[in-house]
Protein backbone atom coordinates (compact mmCIF):
# COMPACT_ATOMS: atom_id res chain seq x y z
CA UNK A 1 0.00 0.00 0.00
CA UNK A 2 2.73 2.60 0.78
CA UNK A 3 4.38 1.84 -2.57
CA UNK A 4 1.12 2.44 -4.43
CA UNK A 5 0.52 5.66 -2.50
CA UNK A 6 4.01 6.87 -3.32
CA UNK A 7 3.41 6.17 -7.02
CA UNK A 8 0.23 8.26 -6.91
CA UNK A 9 2.05 11.09 -5.14
CA UNK A 10 4.85 10.96 -7.70
CA UNK A 11 2.37 11.34 -10.55
CA UNK A 12 0.99 14.49 -8.92
CA UNK A 13 4.36 16.21 -9.38
CA UNK A 14 4.87 17.21 -13.05
CA UNK A 15 8.09 18.79 -14.30
CA UNK A 16 8.42 20.74 -17.52
CA UNK A 17 10.56 19.55 -20.44
CA UNK A 18 12.93 22.48 -20.09
CA UNK A 19 16.42 22.03 -18.76
CA UNK A 20 16.66 22.11 -14.94
CA UNK A 21 19.02 25.10 -15.19
CA UNK A 22 16.65 27.10 -17.41
CA UNK A 23 14.63 30.02 -16.07
CA UNK A 24 11.52 28.56 -17.73
CA UNK A 25 11.92 25.29 -15.82
CA UNK A 26 8.80 24.77 -13.70
CA UNK A 27 7.34 22.18 -11.36
CA UNK A 28 3.58 21.76 -11.07
CA UNK A 29 2.11 20.22 -7.92
CA UNK A 30 -1.43 18.83 -7.98
CA UNK A 31 -2.92 18.63 -4.48
CA UNK A 32 -6.22 16.92 -5.37
CA UNK A 33 -5.26 13.84 -3.32
CA UNK A 34 -4.63 15.94 -0.21
CA UNK A 35 -7.39 18.53 -0.49
CA UNK A 36 -10.55 17.96 1.59
CA UNK A 37 -13.83 16.79 0.14
CA UNK A 38 -16.86 19.03 -0.22
CA UNK A 39 -18.52 17.77 2.98
CA UNK A 40 -19.22 19.94 6.02
CA UNK A 41 -17.08 19.91 8.03
CA UNK A 42 -14.39 19.15 5.43
CA UNK A 43 -12.96 15.63 5.59
CA UNK A 44 -9.27 15.20 4.81
CA UNK A 45 -9.40 11.55 3.74
CA UNK A 46 -5.96 11.58 2.12
CA UNK A 47 -4.21 13.34 4.99
CA UNK A 48 -6.02 11.22 7.57
CA UNK A 49 -4.93 8.02 5.81
CA UNK A 50 -1.31 9.20 5.85
CA UNK A 51 -1.56 10.00 9.57
CA UNK A 52 -3.17 6.66 10.42
CA UNK A 53 -0.57 4.66 8.50
CA UNK A 54 2.30 6.86 9.78
CA UNK A 55 4.24 6.14 6.62
CA UNK A 56 7.53 8.01 6.43
CA UNK A 57 7.71 7.83 2.63
CA UNK A 58 4.40 9.66 2.25
CA UNK A 59 5.02 12.16 5.03
CA UNK A 60 8.40 13.19 3.67
CA UNK A 61 7.29 13.14 0.04
CA UNK A 62 7.96 16.39 -1.84
CA UNK A 63 4.25 16.75 -2.68
CA UNK A 64 3.23 16.58 0.99
CA UNK A 65 5.99 18.95 2.07
CA UNK A 66 5.07 21.42 -0.65
CA UNK A 67 1.40 21.17 0.36
CA UNK A 68 2.31 21.99 3.96
CA UNK A 69 4.43 24.90 2.77
CA UNK A 70 1.71 26.38 0.56
CA UNK A 71 -0.98 26.02 3.20
CA UNK A 72 1.29 27.47 5.86
CA UNK A 73 2.05 30.54 3.75
CA UNK A 74 -1.60 31.05 2.82
CA UNK A 75 -3.25 31.18 6.26
CA UNK A 76 -1.71 29.02 8.99
CA UNK A 77 1.37 31.22 9.34
CA UNK A 78 -0.66 34.37 10.03
CA UNK A 79 -2.91 32.62 12.54
CA UNK A 80 0.08 31.16 14.31
CA UNK A 81 1.94 34.48 14.53
CA UNK A 82 -1.21 36.31 15.70
CA UNK A 83 -1.86 33.77 18.45
CA UNK A 84 1.83 33.81 19.42
CA UNK A 85 1.74 37.61 19.75
CA UNK A 86 -1.38 37.46 21.93
CA UNK A 87 0.12 34.79 24.14
CA UNK A 88 3.41 36.69 24.48
CA UNK A 89 1.48 39.80 25.61
CA UNK A 90 -0.28 37.74 28.26
CA UNK A 91 2.93 36.00 29.30
CA UNK A 92 4.96 39.19 29.74
CA UNK A 93 2.21 41.16 31.50
CA UNK A 94 1.40 38.34 33.88
CA UNK A 95 5.05 37.79 34.81
CA UNK A 96 5.55 41.50 35.49
CA UNK A 97 2.31 41.68 37.48
CA UNK A 98 3.24 38.71 39.67
CA UNK A 99 6.77 40.01 40.22
CA UNK A 100 5.48 43.38 41.47
CA UNK A 101 2.85 41.80 43.71
CA UNK A 102 5.31 39.32 45.24
CA UNK A 103 7.81 42.12 45.95
CA UNK A 104 5.14 44.17 47.72
CA UNK A 105 3.99 41.07 49.58
CA UNK A 106 7.49 40.34 50.90
CA UNK A 107 8.03 44.00 51.82
CA UNK A 108 4.80 44.16 53.83
CA UNK A 109 5.71 40.95 55.68
CA UNK A 110 9.12 42.36 56.61
CA UNK A 111 7.58 45.61 57.85
CA UNK A 112 5.02 43.74 59.96
CA UNK A 113 7.76 41.65 61.56
CA UNK A 114 9.80 44.78 62.39
CA UNK A 115 6.75 46.48 63.89
CA UNK A 116 6.00 43.48 66.09
CA UNK A 117 9.58 43.23 67.38
CA UNK A 118 9.68 46.96 68.18
CA UNK A 119 6.44 46.72 70.14
CA UNK A 120 7.75 43.79 72.19
CA UNK A 121 11.00 45.65 72.99
CA UNK A 122 9.11 48.73 74.12
CA UNK A 123 6.84 46.63 76.32
CA UNK A 124 9.81 44.99 78.08
CA UNK A 125 11.39 48.36 78.79
CA UNK A 126 8.24 49.80 80.27
CA UNK A 127 7.86 46.96 82.81
CA UNK A 128 10.92 48.33 84.70
CA UNK A 129 9.12 51.60 85.60
CA UNK A 130 6.92 52.31 88.66
CA UNK A 131 3.23 51.49 88.73
CA UNK A 132 1.86 54.94 87.94
CA UNK A 133 4.33 55.66 85.18
CA UNK A 134 3.92 52.14 83.84
CA UNK A 135 0.15 52.52 83.69
CA UNK A 136 0.40 55.79 81.77
CA UNK A 137 3.10 54.50 79.44
CA UNK A 138 1.26 51.24 78.79
CA UNK A 139 -1.84 53.21 77.92
CA UNK A 140 0.19 55.31 75.50
CA UNK A 141 1.81 52.15 74.12
CA UNK A 142 -1.55 50.50 73.54
CA UNK A 143 -2.78 53.56 71.70
CA UNK A 144 0.33 53.64 69.54
CA UNK A 145 0.14 49.90 68.91
CA UNK A 146 -3.54 50.10 67.99
CA UNK A 147 -2.77 52.96 65.62
CA UNK A 148 0.08 51.00 64.03
CA UNK A 149 -2.07 47.89 63.71
CA UNK A 150 -4.94 49.86 62.19
CA UNK A 151 -2.53 51.42 59.72
CA UNK A 152 -1.02 48.04 58.90
CA UNK A 153 -4.41 46.39 58.40
CA UNK A 154 -5.60 49.25 56.27
CA UNK A 155 -2.47 49.20 54.11
CA UNK A 156 -2.38 45.42 53.81
CA UNK A 157 -6.05 44.53 53.41
CA UNK A 158 -7.02 47.38 51.15
CA UNK A 159 -4.66 48.81 48.57
CA UNK A 160 -5.98 51.49 46.31
CA UNK A 161 -5.68 50.17 42.81
CA UNK A 162 -3.62 52.44 40.63
CA UNK A 163 -4.17 52.91 36.94
CA UNK A 164 -1.29 50.68 35.82
CA UNK A 165 -2.57 47.79 37.93
CA UNK A 166 -6.06 48.10 36.51
CA UNK A 167 -4.78 48.26 32.94
CA UNK A 168 -2.52 45.20 33.30
CA UNK A 169 -5.25 43.22 35.07
CA UNK A 170 -7.81 44.16 32.41
CA UNK A 171 -5.49 43.12 29.59
CA UNK A 172 -4.66 39.83 31.33
CA UNK A 173 -8.34 39.04 31.87
CA UNK A 174 -9.24 39.89 28.25
CA UNK A 175 -6.44 37.75 26.83
CA UNK A 176 -7.12 34.81 29.13
CA UNK A 177 -10.84 35.01 28.24
CA UNK A 178 -9.97 34.89 24.55
CA UNK A 179 -7.72 31.86 25.15
CA UNK A 180 -10.47 30.10 27.14
CA UNK A 181 -12.98 30.70 24.31
CA UNK A 182 -10.46 29.29 21.87
CA UNK A 183 -10.01 26.19 24.05
CA UNK A 184 -13.78 25.73 24.35
CA UNK A 185 -14.19 25.90 20.59
CA UNK A 186 -11.33 23.45 20.14
CA UNK A 187 -13.03 21.16 22.65
CA UNK A 188 -16.22 21.35 20.58
CA UNK A 189 -14.35 20.46 17.39
CA UNK A 190 -12.19 17.64 18.74
CA UNK A 191 -14.69 16.32 21.32
CA UNK A 192 -13.21 13.27 23.09
CA UNK A 193 -9.88 13.64 21.33
CA UNK A 194 -9.42 16.90 23.23
CA UNK A 195 -9.39 15.12 26.59
CA UNK A 196 -6.78 12.60 25.43
CA UNK A 197 -4.10 15.30 25.15
CA UNK A 198 -2.21 15.86 28.40
CA UNK A 199 -1.17 19.38 27.41
CA UNK A 200 -4.79 20.54 27.55
CA UNK A 201 -5.00 19.77 31.27
CA UNK A 202 -1.95 21.95 31.90
CA UNK A 203 -3.58 24.76 29.90
CA UNK A 204 -6.74 24.66 32.02
CA UNK A 205 -4.63 24.59 35.19
CA UNK A 206 -2.91 27.74 33.92
CA UNK A 207 -6.23 29.47 33.24
CA UNK A 208 -7.70 28.62 36.65
CA UNK A 209 -4.56 29.73 38.51
CA UNK A 210 -4.43 33.03 36.63
CA UNK A 211 -8.08 33.87 37.32
CA UNK A 212 -7.69 32.86 40.98
CA UNK A 213 -4.72 35.21 41.32
CA UNK A 214 -6.07 38.34 39.59
CA UNK A 215 -9.42 38.45 41.43
CA UNK A 216 -10.26 40.44 43.47
CA UNK A 217 -8.24 43.33 42.12
CA UNK A 218 -8.24 45.63 45.17
CA UNK A 219 -7.43 43.27 48.06
CA UNK A 220 -4.02 42.07 49.14
CA UNK A 221 -2.99 38.67 47.76
CA UNK A 222 -3.06 35.70 50.10
CA UNK A 223 -0.45 32.96 50.28
CA UNK A 224 -2.66 30.63 48.24
CA UNK A 225 -2.93 33.22 45.51
CA UNK A 226 0.84 33.68 45.49
CA UNK A 227 1.31 29.90 45.18
CA UNK A 228 -1.23 29.74 42.34
CA UNK A 229 0.63 32.58 40.57
CA UNK A 230 3.93 30.70 40.86
CA UNK A 231 2.30 27.57 39.40
CA UNK A 232 0.79 29.64 36.59
CA UNK A 233 4.16 31.20 35.73
CA UNK A 234 5.83 27.79 35.60
CA UNK A 235 3.14 26.37 33.31
CA UNK A 236 3.16 29.54 31.22
CA UNK A 237 6.87 29.23 30.44
CA UNK A 238 6.61 25.55 29.54
CA UNK A 239 3.51 26.25 27.46
CA UNK A 240 5.43 28.93 25.55
CA UNK A 241 8.25 26.47 24.86
CA UNK A 242 5.74 23.83 23.74
CA UNK A 243 4.00 26.41 21.54
CA UNK A 244 7.24 26.97 19.62
CA UNK A 245 7.29 23.35 18.39
CA UNK A 246 5.73 24.47 15.09
CA UNK A 247 8.82 26.52 14.25
CA UNK A 248 10.90 24.29 11.91
CA UNK A 249 14.28 23.84 13.62
CA UNK A 250 13.17 24.67 17.16
CA UNK A 251 10.23 22.28 16.86
CA UNK A 252 12.54 19.42 15.90
CA UNK A 253 14.72 19.99 18.98
CA UNK A 254 11.67 20.29 21.26
CA UNK A 255 10.34 16.95 20.01
CA UNK A 256 13.78 15.43 20.57
CA UNK A 257 13.76 16.67 24.18
CA UNK A 258 10.28 15.24 24.61
CA UNK A 259 11.34 11.77 23.48
CA UNK A 260 14.48 11.80 25.65
CA UNK A 261 12.39 12.91 28.64
CA UNK A 262 10.02 9.98 28.11
CA UNK A 263 13.02 7.62 28.15
CA UNK A 264 14.22 9.24 31.39
CA UNK A 265 10.79 8.79 33.00
CA UNK A 266 10.86 5.08 32.13
CA UNK A 267 14.15 4.72 34.00
CA UNK A 268 13.12 7.03 36.84
CA UNK A 269 11.68 4.21 38.96
CA UNK A 270 15.05 2.44 38.99
CA UNK A 271 16.87 5.66 39.92
CA UNK A 272 14.43 6.28 42.78
CA UNK A 273 15.04 2.78 44.15
CA UNK A 274 18.81 3.33 44.08
CA UNK A 275 18.41 6.70 45.82
CA UNK A 276 16.17 5.20 48.50
CA UNK A 277 18.64 2.36 49.09
CA UNK A 278 21.61 4.65 49.68
CA UNK A 279 19.49 7.24 51.50
CA UNK A 280 18.51 4.65 54.10
CA UNK A 281 22.20 3.77 54.61
CA UNK A 282 23.36 7.40 54.88
CA UNK A 283 20.41 8.21 57.14
CA UNK A 284 21.71 5.65 59.67
CA UNK A 285 25.40 6.50 59.28
CA UNK A 286 25.11 10.31 59.25
CA UNK A 287 22.18 10.81 61.59
CA UNK A 288 23.83 13.85 63.23
CA UNK A 289 24.15 15.72 59.94
CA UNK A 290 21.42 18.19 59.03
CA UNK A 291 21.28 17.03 55.42
CA UNK A 292 20.37 13.51 56.62
CA UNK A 293 18.16 14.58 59.54
CA UNK A 294 15.10 12.67 58.27
CA UNK A 295 14.47 10.13 55.55
CA UNK A 296 12.76 12.37 52.92
CA UNK A 297 15.57 14.92 53.21
CA UNK A 298 18.08 12.06 53.03
CA UNK A 299 16.58 10.92 49.69
CA UNK A 300 16.89 14.43 48.23
CA UNK A 301 20.45 14.78 49.58
CA UNK A 302 21.37 11.44 48.03
CA UNK A 303 19.97 12.53 44.67
CA UNK A 304 21.96 15.78 44.89
CA UNK A 305 25.06 13.78 45.82
CA UNK A 306 24.49 11.71 42.68
CA UNK A 307 25.14 14.91 40.72
CA UNK A 308 28.49 15.39 42.50
CA UNK A 309 27.70 17.50 45.58
CA UNK A 310 28.43 15.12 48.49
CA UNK A 311 30.48 17.41 50.84
CA UNK A 312 33.30 14.90 51.16
CA UNK A 313 35.56 17.21 53.22
CA UNK A 314 32.85 18.00 55.73
CA UNK A 315 31.67 14.40 56.22
CA UNK A 316 34.94 12.45 56.10
CA UNK A 317 37.92 14.78 56.57
CA UNK A 318 36.81 17.48 59.01
CA UNK A 319 34.50 15.21 60.98
CA UNK A 320 37.32 13.15 62.49
CA UNK A 321 37.40 9.39 62.99
CA UNK A 322 34.10 8.65 64.67
CA UNK A 323 32.18 5.39 64.89
CA UNK A 324 31.94 3.30 61.70
CA UNK A 325 34.39 5.57 59.93
CA UNK A 326 35.89 2.77 57.81
CA UNK A 327 32.45 1.44 56.95
CA UNK A 328 31.38 4.96 55.92
CA UNK A 329 34.32 5.18 53.53
CA UNK A 330 33.47 1.79 52.00
CA UNK A 331 29.81 2.77 51.43
CA UNK A 332 30.90 6.11 50.01
CA UNK A 333 33.18 4.37 47.49
CA UNK A 334 30.34 1.97 46.53
CA UNK A 335 28.03 4.95 46.06
CA UNK A 336 30.54 6.74 43.84
CA UNK A 337 31.11 3.68 41.63
CA UNK A 338 27.49 2.66 41.33
CA UNK A 339 25.53 5.91 41.25
CA UNK A 340 27.93 8.62 40.11
CA UNK A 341 29.87 6.56 37.56
CA UNK A 342 27.60 3.73 36.40
CA UNK A 343 24.08 5.19 36.54
CA UNK A 344 25.11 8.61 35.22
CA UNK A 345 26.97 7.06 32.28
CA UNK A 346 23.98 4.85 31.50
CA UNK A 347 21.72 7.90 31.46
CA UNK A 348 24.13 9.80 29.21
CA UNK A 349 24.39 6.80 26.88
CA UNK A 350 20.61 6.46 26.64
CA UNK A 351 20.23 10.19 26.02
CA UNK A 352 22.86 10.22 23.26
CA UNK A 353 21.47 7.05 21.66
CA UNK A 354 17.92 8.39 21.76
CA UNK A 355 19.05 11.73 20.35
CA UNK A 356 20.61 10.12 17.29
CA UNK A 357 17.51 8.02 16.71
CA UNK A 358 14.96 10.69 17.53
CA UNK A 359 16.60 13.38 15.42
CA UNK A 360 15.97 11.22 12.37
CA UNK A 361 12.34 10.72 13.43
CA UNK A 362 11.62 14.26 14.66
CA UNK A 363 11.25 15.51 11.09
CA UNK A 364 8.44 13.04 10.46
CA UNK A 365 6.81 13.81 13.80
CA UNK A 366 6.85 17.54 13.08
CA UNK A 367 5.25 16.98 9.69
CA UNK A 368 2.50 14.91 11.35
CA UNK A 369 1.79 17.73 13.79
CA UNK A 370 1.82 20.24 10.95
CA UNK A 371 -0.66 18.07 9.09
CA UNK A 372 -2.99 17.94 12.09
CA UNK A 373 -2.70 21.71 12.52
CA UNK A 374 -3.75 22.25 8.91
CA UNK A 375 -6.77 19.99 9.40
CA UNK A 376 -7.79 21.86 12.56
CA UNK A 377 -7.51 25.28 10.91
CA UNK A 378 -9.43 24.17 7.82
CA UNK A 379 -12.23 22.88 10.08
CA UNK A 380 -12.36 25.97 12.31
CA UNK A 381 -14.35 29.18 12.06
CA UNK A 382 -11.40 30.95 10.44
CA UNK A 383 -11.94 28.96 7.24
CA UNK A 384 -15.28 30.77 6.77
CA UNK A 385 -13.64 34.17 6.62
CA UNK A 386 -13.20 35.70 3.18
CA UNK A 387 -9.43 36.03 3.53
CA UNK A 388 -9.06 32.39 4.61
CA UNK A 389 -11.36 30.65 2.15
CA UNK A 390 -9.90 27.72 0.25
CA UNK A 391 -8.96 28.20 -3.36
CA UNK A 392 -10.76 26.10 -5.91
CA UNK A 393 -7.60 25.56 -7.92
CA UNK A 394 -5.73 22.60 -6.44
CA UNK A 395 -2.55 23.08 -8.49
CA UNK A 396 0.55 25.06 -7.56
CA UNK A 397 3.25 26.01 -10.07
CA UNK A 398 6.73 26.92 -8.97
CA UNK A 399 9.77 28.23 -10.85
CA UNK A 400 12.81 27.07 -8.85
CA UNK A 401 15.34 29.14 -10.85
CA UNK A 402 13.56 32.47 -10.48
CA UNK A 403 15.04 34.96 -8.05
CA UNK A 404 13.08 35.01 -4.81
CA UNK A 405 12.26 38.17 -2.88
CA UNK A 406 13.05 38.76 0.78
CA UNK A 407 9.38 38.33 1.70
CA UNK A 408 9.18 35.02 -0.14
CA UNK A 409 12.39 33.81 1.49
CA UNK A 410 11.05 34.74 4.93
CA UNK A 411 7.80 32.87 4.23
CA UNK A 412 9.75 29.83 3.07
CA UNK A 413 11.82 30.01 6.25
CA UNK A 414 8.69 30.03 8.41
CA UNK A 415 7.23 27.22 6.33
CA UNK A 416 10.26 25.05 7.03
CA UNK A 417 11.67 24.97 3.51
CA UNK A 418 14.90 26.66 4.62
CA UNK A 419 16.26 24.88 7.66
CA UNK A 420 18.58 22.12 8.74
CA UNK A 421 16.23 19.30 7.87
CA UNK A 422 14.95 20.42 4.49
CA UNK A 423 17.04 21.13 1.41
CA UNK A 424 15.55 21.42 -2.03
CA UNK A 425 18.94 21.02 -3.66
CA UNK A 426 19.30 17.55 -2.17
CA UNK A 427 15.91 16.67 -3.56
CA UNK A 428 16.89 17.88 -6.96
CA UNK A 429 19.99 15.68 -6.95
CA UNK A 430 17.90 12.61 -6.22
CA UNK A 431 15.16 13.27 -8.76
CA UNK A 432 16.71 11.12 -11.45
CA UNK A 433 17.27 8.28 -9.03
CA UNK A 434 13.67 8.53 -7.79
CA UNK A 435 12.37 8.32 -11.36
CA UNK A 436 14.46 5.23 -12.10
CA UNK A 437 13.36 3.58 -8.88
CA UNK A 438 9.74 4.39 -9.61
CA UNK A 439 9.88 2.86 -13.10
CA UNK A 440 11.66 -0.18 -11.71
CA UNK A 441 8.98 -0.64 -9.06
CA UNK A 442 6.24 -0.33 -11.66
CA UNK A 443 7.85 -3.02 -13.80
CA UNK A 444 8.19 -5.31 -10.78
CA UNK A 445 4.57 -4.78 -9.81
CA UNK A 446 3.35 -5.48 -13.34
CA UNK A 447 5.49 -8.61 -13.56
CA UNK A 448 4.16 -9.87 -10.21
CA UNK A 449 0.55 -9.29 -11.22
CA UNK A 450 1.04 -11.05 -14.58
CA UNK A 451 2.52 -14.05 -12.78
CA UNK A 452 -0.43 -14.15 -10.36
CA UNK A 453 -2.93 -13.99 -13.22
CA UNK A 454 -1.05 -16.75 -15.02
CA UNK A 455 -1.17 -19.00 -11.93
CA UNK A 456 -4.91 -18.42 -11.51
CA UNK A 457 -5.57 -19.27 -15.15
CA UNK A 458 -3.55 -22.48 -14.82
CA UNK A 459 -5.51 -23.47 -11.71
CA UNK A 460 -8.86 -22.83 -13.45
CA UNK A 461 -7.84 -24.98 -16.36
pLDDT, one tens digit per residue, over 112-152 is 545 544 544 444 554 444 443 444 454 444 544 444 544 44
Is 57's pLDDT higher than 80?
A: no
* Structure confidence at residue 428 (pLDDT): 44
pLDDT category at 432 given cuts 50, 70, 90 is very low
Q: Is residue 200 part of a domain?
A: no
Tell me if the bond preceding 350 is cis, omega within 30° of 0.
Answer: no
| Residue-number span of the structural domain to which 303 is assigned | 252-369
Averaged confidence pLDDT in the chain: 73
Q: Is residue 280 part of a domain?
A: yes
pLDDT in tens, 258-274: 877 887 888 888 888 98
- Mean pLDDT confidence for 51-62: 76
**Angle at CA of residue 246, ends 41 and 11, nearest 5°:** 65
SS3 (DSSP) at 169 = helix
- Mean pLDDT confidence for 391-412: 72
Is 320's pLDDT higher than 60?
A: no
Q: Is residue 105 part of a domain?
A: no
Q: 74-78 long-range CB contacts below 8 Å, 24 or more apart?
A: 74/391, 75/377, 75/382, 75/387, 75/388, 76/373, 76/374, 76/377, 77/411, 77/414, 77/415
127, 154, 349, 445 from 118: Cα distances, Å: 15, 20, 59, 94
Entry pTM = 0.66
More confident residue, 358 or 174: 174
Question: Between 198-214 and 223-243, two packed helices, what is the crossing angle to 10 degrees?
Answer: 140
Q: Is residue 256 part of a domain?
A: yes
Is 156's pLDDT higher than 80?
A: no
* Structure confidence at residue 139 (pLDDT): 47
Q: Is residue 73 part of a domain?
A: no
- What lies within 8 Å, CB to CB, of 419 at 6+ separation is 248, 249, 413
pLDDT category at 423 given cuts 50, 70, 90 is very low
Q: Is residue 82 part of a domain?
A: no
Is 380's pLDDT higher than 70?
A: no
Domains in the chain, number: 1
Q: Is residue 286 part of a domain?
A: yes
Beta bridge partners of 331: none
* Structure confidence at residue 414 (pLDDT): 62
More confident residue, 167 or 319: 167
Which H helix or E strand runs over 396? strand 395-398
Beta bridge partners of 29: 13, 396
Least confident of 45-54, 120-129, 234-243, 342-351: 120-129
Is 282's pLDDT higher than 90?
A: no
271, 275, 277, 292, 321 from 280: Cα distances, Å: 14, 9, 6, 9, 21
Q: Is residue 317 part of a domain?
A: yes
* Structure confidence at residue 436 (pLDDT): 42
Which H helix or E strand runs over 284? helix 248-285
pLDDT category at 425 given cuts 50, 70, 90 is very low
- Mean pLDDT confidence for 413-425: 51
Amino acid sequence: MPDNAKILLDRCVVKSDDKPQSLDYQITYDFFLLEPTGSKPPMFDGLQAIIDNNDEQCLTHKLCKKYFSVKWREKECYLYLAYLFIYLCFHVLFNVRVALVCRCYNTSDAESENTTSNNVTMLNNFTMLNNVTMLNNVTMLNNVTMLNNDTMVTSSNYVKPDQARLITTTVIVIVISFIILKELFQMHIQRWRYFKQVSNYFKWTLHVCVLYFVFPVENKRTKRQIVSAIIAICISWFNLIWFLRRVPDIGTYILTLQKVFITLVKMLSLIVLFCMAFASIFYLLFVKESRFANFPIAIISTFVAMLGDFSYDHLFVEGGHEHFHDFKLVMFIVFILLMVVLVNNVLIGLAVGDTDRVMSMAKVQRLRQQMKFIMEVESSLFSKLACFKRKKDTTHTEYPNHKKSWADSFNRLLAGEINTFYNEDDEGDDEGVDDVLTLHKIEEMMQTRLENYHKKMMQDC
